[in-house]
Amino acid sequence: MALRKASAYSKKKARPFTRKSRNKNRAYIKTVPGSKIAKFHQGAAEDYRAGKHSFFVRIIANQKTQIRDNALESCRMYLTKILDEQILGQYYLALKVYPHHILRENKLSAGAGADRISTGMTHSYGVVIGRAAIVNAGQEIFFISCSNEKAARLARDMLNVIKAKLPCATKVSFSNKS
pLDDT single digits (tens) 10-23 = 666 666 666 666 77
Q: Count CB neighbours of 70 within 10 A.
A: 18
pLDDT of residue 177: 78
Q: What is the mean pLDDT of residues 150-171?
A: 93
Backbone angles phi, psi at 52, to 5 degrees: -80, -15
pLDDT of residue 152: 92
Q: How confident is the model at residue 113 (pLDDT cuts 50, 70, 90)?
A: low
pLDDT digits (tens, 9 = 90+) for 61-82: 999 989 999 999 999 999 999 9
DSSP 26: T
Run of H or E residues at 154: helix 149-162
Q: What is the pTM of this model?
A: 0.81
pLDDT digits (tens, 9 = 90+) for 87-108: 988 999 999 999 988 888 777 6
Q: What is the mean pLDDT of residues 39-54?
A: 91
Domain locations along the chain: 34-103+124-176
Contact 172, 162 (CB under 8 A): no
Residue 1 has pLDDT above 80, yes or no: no
Fold of 34-103+124-176: Aldehyde Oxidoreductase; domain 3 (3.90.1170)
Residue 114 has pLDDT above 60, yes or no: no
